[in-house]
Structure 1
Amino acid sequence: MTKIVIVGGVAGGASAAARARRLSEDAQIIMFERGEHVSFANCGLPYHIGGDIQDRSKLLLQTPQSFLARFNVDVRVMSEVVAIDRAAKSVTVRNQLDGTQYQESYDVLLLSPGAAPITPPIPGLDNPLTHSLRNIPDMDRIIQSLQSRQVKHATVVGGGFIGLEMMEAFHQLGIQTTLLELGEQVMAPVDREMAGFAHHTIREQGVDLRLNTALSSVEYVAEQGQLLLSLSSNQQLQAEQLQTDLLIMAIGVRPETALAEQAGLQLGETGGIWVNSQMQTSDPAIYAVGDAVEERDFVTDTPSLVPLAGPANRQGRMAADNMLGRNQHYQGTQGTAICKIFDLAIASTGRNEKQLRAAGTHYQKVYVHTASHASYYPGAETVSFKLLFEPETGKILGAQAAGKDGVDKRIDIIAVAQRAGMTVEQLQHLELTYAPPFGSAKDVINQAAFVAHNLMVGDSHAIHLDEIDSLSDDQLLLDVRNPGELDSQGFIDGAINIPVDQLRERMDELPKDKEIIIYCQVGLRGNVAYRQLVNRGYKARNLLGGYRTYRFATA
């Protein structure tokens, strides 16, 4: 009989325990959880605070009693594993309630300790009005703060998933909210111009969004029940003061590796627990899964840290298989993710441009902005889509999308296509569902693939938004939109305007000794104009994504 000891529940540990029992009725399975909840929906915590999920019990997926009844797993909550004796194959467990300790032996051990919120060395953070959000008790403390006192203003530090979700939760509760982000954008998995759609939506909702802004110190003013925050940025000559009633620190997480380190297990390059493709650590009798482990990136096969529930669940399942003698291999993480920001969704999969540039990967990119379903059917919303690929092979490197409808569908399609090894050329041939309420005859994915394939075969020549502000005297900027659009949408300084439908008759107004840089609203009319010009002997390039991408890049 195999004795399996699991350290940590939630996504990875709980999945492993359930899978192990389904495979073996004879295995002895013990799961230790240092908190009071063994399996809860940590991704749902901000939505309970904001009121979208009314019933707190909905977040509790399994209890020790339900785990025992359904899976015959011995779940011991409020029990922290504080040491591993690899030679003796035992762990030391501390009872959190009375402080007593005991040893528990194992045949195989699974570590699923997760990741802890990063707490930066900022003076004054240790006060009763500052919180982080990782588990149910953290959520309860935030709700207690909201219920026990009048919170008129809340500040969230960090523009990642938790920070954005907490910002929206406070706004939904009618609390004036400030969001501080040290970098130039929120949502690090997407590139700056795609994050611009989030910035626009956040500010449109009345949230005080401050980019490139650091929290330098916190002062707790007990008599007023407030915090005085000192903020600094590159634009400020001196620190600014901000009064707030509640502070949420959400600047990110780091893998919890202390237990593994103390046991002498190998850590990876990125600081997570090193594991092989079977989720084994450097000790073959010890496995590790979830946010604490270093994974292999699916696209680049380089080490990465991806604290997401989906990978943790799959890793837990595979580790259970392998602990019981099977031979399953984890095939890398794409980092597929999505975030709701008010009525906007932003999603991504694979590598982003920042990562590709840092790795020295040769890539090309295209943008399309098109309707989520047939534009003539009511309710169509614009999907802004970015596709990254290798121009020589058509290999899909990553994708990002923003919009109010249909974003998840498109990123999920690319995630599947990428894992299947499809190329840009093959994306042209995807046959996706079409009826006016649901899609278009040429889906967003098809259109992006058409644009990418045009670049690959030389049917178009592109220019990107980061080149527009540094044109030379040998280039001329041409806006092919209708004059009314310039008034309502804005324009790029220095451009001459010839609407695309007048271009054939007015082409002689353009000099042939200069390269014509064309742009329209989203890039489609620009491509029509491009083909007209090059077919008449002009040198030209089209701004991919058009003025819409250019405008939101600085939002």
Structure 2
Amino acid sequence: MKVLIIGGVAAGTKTAAKLKRADRSVDVTLIAKDKDISYASCGLPYYVGGIIEDKSGLIVNTPQKYAAMTGVNVVTGIEAFKLDSENKTVLAKDVDTGEVSSYTYDKLVIATGASPVVPPITGIDKAGVFKLRLPDDAVNMRDYLKNSNVKKAVVVGGGFIGLEAAENLQVQGVEVTVIDFASQIMPNVIDPEIAAFVQKHLQKQGIRIMTGVAGQEILGDSAVQGIKTTAGELSADLIVLSVGVRPNTAFLQDTGIEMFKGTILVNDKLQTSLNDVYSVGDCAMVTNRLTHARQWSPMGSSANLEGRLLGQILTNIDKEYPGVLGTGIVKLPNINCARTGLGEKQARDAGYDVETLMAVVEDKPNYYPDADAFITKLIADKKTHKILGLQVIGQGAVDKMADIAVTAISLGATLEQCECMDFCYAPPFSTAIHPFVQTVHIMLNKLNGYLTSITPAEYLAGKADGYRVIDASLKPSIRGALYVDLAKVNGPIEGLNKDDKLLLVCAKGKRAYFLQNRLKHFGYTNTLALEAGLTFSDVKVKTTAKLTPEEIKAVKALGFLQDKTTGDKFNGRVITRNGKITANESKVIAEAAEKFGSGEITMTTRLTVEIQGVPYENIEPLREYLMQNAGLETGGTGSKVRPVVSCKGTTCQYGLIDTFALSEEIHRRFYKGYRDVKLPHKFKIAVGGCPNNCVKPNLNDIGIIGQRIPQIDYAKCRGCKVCMAVNSCPIKTLQLVDGKINIDDKHCNHCGLCVNKCPFHCFDNASDGYRIYIGGRWGKRVKEGRALSKIFTSKEEVLSVVEKAILLFREQGITGERFSDTIDRIGFENVEAQLLANDLLARKQENLAAQKHLVGGATC
């Protein structure tokens, strides 16, 4: 028997290998368009991030190695372009020469996979625009990152690959924004409330997420400088296109093969509508294992399984492909997300009588190091108690939760059959009752009526409107709610009628259930427990109660300072990255001020925009609105590196350096990069483009001032009675002495105004640089900073000094003192010597890991 396989990678190579192992006599030929036939496409983002160090790690098998190992005849660089199913012939051409060749078969396997969808965005041919499908894509992207000094990237598409690309770009020190046209990230993969939780988490981790936003045009000349979107322009040095894939099946259009939206329809034997033609992998449309409806699942895992099964079917082994569950997992910064089976809407659309549960259970005993929790959405059928789907997020091994669910769903297990599953237990691995089994227990409690609860999605939809919130946490956690100490409930609660509508809320949902159990015993008939509690939902209670100092302090850390004239309203600081904002950002800030504040906006002396008069309950909605619509954050308070401020730099007639570029780099490295680093006090940075000092760099903890140092050619000086250079010097450090030009180096501020002023070319040359002042401050005790003795000539030198100053302050400062106090205490010369050496950088990790300054000294 002669079998021809079109396509390699996962499905094609797996089919061929299994077929040859099952029957060595079969003549198997595999033709592939790409030179690489077997590579780890799912590993490409991790090559970009440097986790996979060498490209060779991406190549599973070379054509030569694969052919020798399997006995398959492998031909690469050949693209099939015509199928004649009646004559069982495939025409293909050499991708380099165009030479046409003909291949005959007894059985044909189409495993041509899929290619990235190219969205209709103008300018995608510019340098710096990448897809992630082939090893060369990842190699080229990592090279571009290294060679083009990429600082900002925009990922178009919030699916698995797009989010993995975002994480790995961030690992490389790039500031990342993800945009997606859908209303949520990972659309059609996880349910909306799970997606919203993950999105908030990613934004806290520094990855900007904007949903409901479409890309329109790549900006820049020959290379990427930004992207125009429906939400305005986003600056970027690199663009990743990851909006999905499309089956590689165009060559089959006139063959009569049955297809749907480009996918090849196959039956449970993986046969197509054409005789002796089969299809597997990303180009094939299989079925859903639960509903038996058609489902496209372009995943490496299912491609391998389909290929292996088809290898057996082709040797007349009687097997059937049961379909897919759409199982998937993604690793993200400090959180993992997995899913399998049906989502809630899918299950309802399929006709199931659906019950859902959101549960928070520990992944290991809480006393064990690195213990965390699984937040799990379990979907089951009310009538049969069979598990239909599961979605889980957490820092730990979410794969084992999803994999157990895969097993249960595949075997048609009921919740009761999972109730006493005897899983492994030891503290490093699990809790005594496995987290999956705990989740099953909670679902059974809900189905059996022991737990009467409301899901986070139902809470957001208003199902608990009219209910009084009861705080069942270990300690009071919900402002304005009645706090009930579970341990003290031994009868009816004073002030609560037994027919009152009560919403019971705690941190994770467990104590709320325990309280509900007691209240039911004492005759309370109308209680709801909020599933997943405050871990998942932001519960607010309208109240006139006075804010506590803890509540005021908590929102101050988010950039909201109490308005002393009102007491219950706040002024929120919007981080504008050195005072420069786009027209769209300005529009969104204005809209936010109208929607959530008093409608007034002010500018602080640090060039930060403040939205005035924001009620306490509007703080989180305001923050979400700013991030979602413009990617803007609030903050800039606390004992940390503060947002950098700069003057207009080279856009000003006196500007000597590009202050915006430098200040954005400082913002990225030290405000963003050091956002979790606690310092003795606040640490302010300012960048001035020239010695005019418009933003007062020398009154900051560290200030950088652009310099232009004239290189005087004294031989060309003619001692003119009226010297143009002397007249141009605003502080009179240039003078004619004995008929020759003289410069007072001690007092020259290197403003550069004398450069090119001499008609005889004495001042034609100059070197640009940076002067750094340390230990300045304003406020109650104003102090001017002192300049380091060296004039720095490179931006990297300046950035290094800034980092060393922060590290020195953290390491040697005393909690509560300003940087100027630290300098005074240990001596300017000592500090300068440390800033010009590299010892501070050598012990950086030890310094940052130290538990220091946990209660900082900043009051605002």
Structure-1-length-normalised TM-score: 0.93
Return the letter of the residue paired with 1:291.
D
Shift of 1:547: 1.9
Shift of 1:243: 1.7
Distance 1:474 1:119 in 2: 49
Match of 1:348 among 339, 352, 358: 339
Q: Indicate if the aligned counterparts of 1:277 and 1:331 stay in contact, CA closer than 8 A.
A: yes
Give the structure 2 partner of residue 257 of structure 1: 249
Gap runs ≥5 in structure 1:
234-239
Return the letter of the residue paired with 2:172.
L
CA 1:443–1:107: 2 relative to 1, 3 Å: same
Give the structure 1 partner of residue 655 of structure 2: none
Return the letter of the residue paired with 1:226.
V
Shift of 1:262: 2.8
- Is structure 2 residue 529 aligned with structure 1 residue 542? yes
- Is structure 2 residue 506 aligned with structure 1 residue 508? no
Match of 1:465 among 456, 462, 465: 456
Distance 2:226 2:371 in 1: 45
Distance 1:107 1:43 in 2: 33
Distance 1:174 1:310 in 2: 31
Distance 2:339 2:110 in 1: 29
Shift of 1:475: 3.0
Give the structure 2 partner of residue 236 of structure 1: none
Distance 2:538 2:169 in 1: 29
Return the letter of the residue paired with 2:536.
T
Shift of 1:123: 2.4
| 1:64-79 superposed matches below 5 A | 64-79=63-78
- Is structure 2 residue 38 aligned with structure 1 residue 39? yes
Gap runs ≥5 in structure 2:
540-619, 625-860
Give the structure 1 partner of residue 228 of structure 2: 230
**For 1:198-249, what per-residue CA distance to the aligned partner results, in whole angstroms no more than 9, with x for missing partners?**
3233223322222222212223323xx333311224xxxxxx1112111111
Give the structure 2 partner of residue 522 of structure 1: 508
Q: Indicate if the aligned counterparts of 2:358 and 2:455 stay in contact, CA closer than 8 A.
A: no
Give the structure 2 partner of residue 416 of structure 1: 407
Q: Indicate if the aligned counterparts of 2:492 and 2:519 stay in contact, CA closer than 8 A.
A: no
Q: Indicate if the aligned counterparts of 1:392 and 1:456 stay in contact, CA closer than 8 A.
A: no
CA 1:426–1:392: 2 relative to 1, 3 Å: same
Q: Indicate if the aligned counterparts of 2:197 and 2:536 stay in contact, CA closer than 8 A.
A: no
Give the structure 2 partner of residue 123 of structure 1: 122
Q: Indicate if the aligned counterparts of 1:368 and 1:444 stay in contact, CA closer than 8 A.
A: no
> What is the count of residue pairs matched by the alignment?
539
Shift of 1:514: 2.5
Distance 1:324 1:483 in 2: 66
Give the structure 1 partner of residue 792 of structure 2: none
CA 1:454–1:313: 2 relative to 1, 3 Å: same
Bigger shift: 194-203 or 110-119? Answer: 194-203
Give the structure 2 partner of residue 207 of structure 1: 207
Give the structure 1 partner of residue 820 of structure 2: none
Shift of 1:197: 4.1
Give the structure 2 partner of residue 237 of structure 1: none
Distance 1:128 1:262 in 2: 36
| 1:388-403 superposed matches below 5 A | 388-403=379-394
Structure-2-length-normalised TM-score: 0.61
Bigger shift: 46-55 or 3-12? Answer: 46-55
Distance 1:457 1:371 in 2: 23
Distance 1:495 1:212 in 2: 35
| 1:422-437 superposed matches below 5 A | 422-437=413-428
**For 1:20-66, what per-residue CA distance to the aligned partner results, in whole angstroms no more than 9, with x for missing partners?**
11012211111111011011111111111110011211211111211
Higher relative contact order (CA 8 A, sep 6+): 1
Q: Indicate if the aligned counterparts of 2:152 and 2:174 stay in contact, CA closer than 8 A.
A: yes
| 1:135-534 superposed matches below 5 A | 135-188=134-187, 189-222=189-222, 225-233=223-231, 240-268=232-260, 271-468=262-459, 470=462, 475-484=467-476, 486=477, 491=478, 495-505=481-491, 507-534=493-520
Distance 1:146 1:330 in 2: 43
Q: Indicate if the aligned counterparts of 2:378 and 2:390 stay in contact, CA closer than 8 A.
A: yes
Bigger shift: 5-14 or 18-27? Answer: 18-27
Shift of 1:114: 0.8
Give the structure 2 partner of residue 104 of structure 1: 103
Q: Indicate if the aligned counterparts of 2:160 and 2:186 stay in contact, CA closer than 8 A.
A: yes
Bigger shift: 539-548 or 120-129? Answer: 120-129
SS of the residue 2:11 aligns to: helix
**For 1:442-482, what per-residue CA distance to the aligned partner results, in whole angstroms no more than 9, with x for missing partners?**
22112111111112222222212233352577532222124
Return the letter of the residue paired with 1:207.
I
**For 1:234-283, what per-residue CA distance to the aligned partner results, in whole angstroms no more than 9, with x for missing partners?**
xxxxxx11121111110111222213333210014x64210000100001
SS of the residue 1:169 aligns to: helix
Q: Indicate if the aligned counterparts of 2:193 and 2:457 stay in contact, CA closer than 8 A.
A: no
Return the letter of the residue paired with 2:98.
G
Larger Rg: 2
SS of the residue 1:509 aligns to: coil
Shift of 1:165: 1.2
**For 1:498-536, what per-residue CA distance to the aligned partner results, in whole angstroms no more than 9, with x for missing partners?**
232233356132122322221211111111111112222
Distance 2:250 2:450 in 1: 55
Distance 2:323 2:535 in 1: 34
Return the letter of the residue paired with 1:480.
A
SS of the residue 1:354 aligns to: helix
Shift of 1:154: 1.2
CA 1:47–1:19: 2 relative to 1, 3 Å: same
Percent identical residues: 31
Distance 2:330 2:203 in 1: 17
Distance 2:351 2:128 in 1: 44
Bigger shift: 494-503 or 154-163? Answer: 494-503
